[in-house]
Chains A and B, each alone.
Chain A
């Protein structure tokens, strides 16, 4: 039932002793990176100030903007030769946020993924089909290696192409999927056209779902459609990726792996700590990462700690499914998008104004993003073909910057109401379920 019984069920006191030891080492290591050397010096603190876990509060917070400012290597704490992998998420203003991993880091991350999948009930005889995009995005490779470590046959199917996905499931006896909730709902409808009358005939048992927020209702719908158990997975590329927190077989919240991360829940306004059970912003510190340690990273995700112990016996505290964001980040088909990224692309295009509106809809269970942009008078020649070319060019530019396909709709100047914050910039017409 436990892949790492010593680390999953140790007494709280021992877990905290391990955390303290690892925190002290992490702060010492972080201080060798240019960013933290300056940041810790400015705050007048360092590893010598860490005598108890409560001393974490004296450390400065780290933001996504800090990561961007440190692009590409300002937060690297290991010798460059020791780095074996990087992952990146698209940047909000052109620069991506990059995370570097040493062999130790990948081993630790893979261990957490394996521990999570094992806790859900997957074993070496299972067949794991990973329908997440491989590449810089962490959902592909992260789950891939963890599933291999459990000993499963891993099918690196990547995303899309439903016909091939169904054929792989049938031909290789897939029992577990890693899939986004929106694609799962879409696939449930599509299988009929590939000769599968009922998705339950596919013989699936597990669905690991993360990358985008979803409700309990959506999870139950997918469970009913495929006859699977859905396991909620939390992660963010800054903290490695998936399996920062994961649901065990009890499925009553996600165990956040406290031997690798120290979690805090802060009031997003005052940044004061909140008691277990109160809803606030999740702030995480890596304590088992050597390539690029992050101290008190503001995830911008809203959740709460579930104070009651889990019947499974694991000591690691559970967090609630993500309840929202404290910034304007959008999640479109599992990809994180900031409205400022759209603005940045448009500012480079003289043919259109920088006033825009993002309209999000759902078609056949899949997210659709439409960006309305205002055509500027000097760019108009009266030629229809040129307008089409402009439209395609903007769609292409947005796709390269956001990594999400979107439709561009050219509108007349003045059509978009002047910006008064997020409410006008983004119209989200996707249903709650």
Chain B
């Protein structure tokens, strides 16, 4: 029942967003169309960098990018000229293999540039294979091993409380990643510590490394499961920018309990032959596939 209640609430948030257009909650104040255009540019850059390096993870980058754009373009409180600003909101990309999505958004906000992301996965590049806070400005976590990001976020959430700071901590995980036991340790601990400044986004794209999640080990009704651990949960279409913005605002405003958004997405979204195709979890497009992708995205 609570799920329905909050779904209703984010719909109310959308109405607020659309009618007010500019909100004090939204540092970058981007509208839906602007966000959708940014997401398209990010998709193009994701494919470009993976094609150039001939390695990387397109599927999970394309499924996650709309939420990432929605977050950075609206509520995420960062200083693009000082990415290490201590009191910034944090965005912890726990599914660190979707690094092209992060590099594409950091490029949009001028924290890195095209030359940086086109050196993705090469020796000495600041754009490492998996996102790494020691290599890239604007990256808040050294990821690559699944299941760890929410715990890290919980530590950041404790620190924010100790500092009496209003900063929020956002964490994105994949649905395959929810098979990791540590994630549930963190979900349980966040409830116990009433970590209302902690926000979780689950990229529910239904595919993991080897195959569909339903075949590897189905994770079931994540909304109910996370809700049963004491979190507030809502579920959205992770490619509908209006729904994304509404849910992000809803999660951003909720401060009593930890907040989770289950974003139903399509792995490889935007490139026809990658969509819902497990083989493009961690495979680069060849030259022919690259040209098809570019045509479809332009």
A and B part of one assembly: no
